Amino acid sequence: MQIEILKSKIFRATVTETRPDYEGSITIDTELMKAVGLEKNEKVLVANFTSGERFETYAIPAPAGSRTICINGAATHLARVGHEVIIMSFCSLTKKEYKKHRPKIVHLGKDNRIISPRASHAEEAVRS
C-alpha cells in the first residue's frame, strides 16, 4: 500500500505577477524549484494564504534569481499580485519509504528570498 505524503513546500511566496491570457500553470523561480526539488510540469497545490483559495496546477520554471511567482490562466481569479501563497507538491510512498522521507520546505521572506530551509516540524514530531 502507498500513502500520499508532502514532498515539498514553498511557504509564504509573494505573487509577483499574473497572466490571465497564459494557458495555465504557476511560474516559479528556478532557484526556488531546485531548493525544494520541484520538477518542470510537476503538479502542485497552491494555497492562497491571503484569501484562503486553493487550486491545483503545474509548475513551470522562471529564470533563476528572478524571484518570480506568477499565477497564469484561470487561476488568476484566485490570486492577485501581492498575495502570499503556499506551494506544495506530494508523492506516493510505501510505509517503508515514508520512514526515511523528509519533505523539502523553504520559508520565504521579503522579495521571495529563502530565509529558512528545513524539514517540517510536524513530520519530525510524528517520527519520534
Residue-by-residue pLDDT tens, the chain, 128 positions = 999 999 999 999 999 999 999 988 999 999 999 999 999 999 999 999 999 999 999 999 999 999 999 999 999 999 999 999 999 999 999 999 999 999 999 999 999 999 987 555 444 444 44
* 98 has catalytic annotation: no
Q: How many residues does the chain have?
A: 128
pLDDT of residue 23: 83
pLDDT of residue 118: 59
Counting the structural domains of the chain, the total is: 1
Catalytically annotated residue among 8, 22, 51, 58: 58
Catalytically annotated residue among 8, 22, 25, 116: 25
* 128 has catalytic annotation: no
The CATH number of whichever domain residue 88 belongs to comes to 2.40.40.20
pLDDT of residue 126: 43
Which residue matches cell numbers 519509504? 97
Q: Which structural domain range is residue 27 located in?
A: 2-127
Report the predicted TM-score, pTM, of the whole model to 2 decimal places.
Answer: 0.90
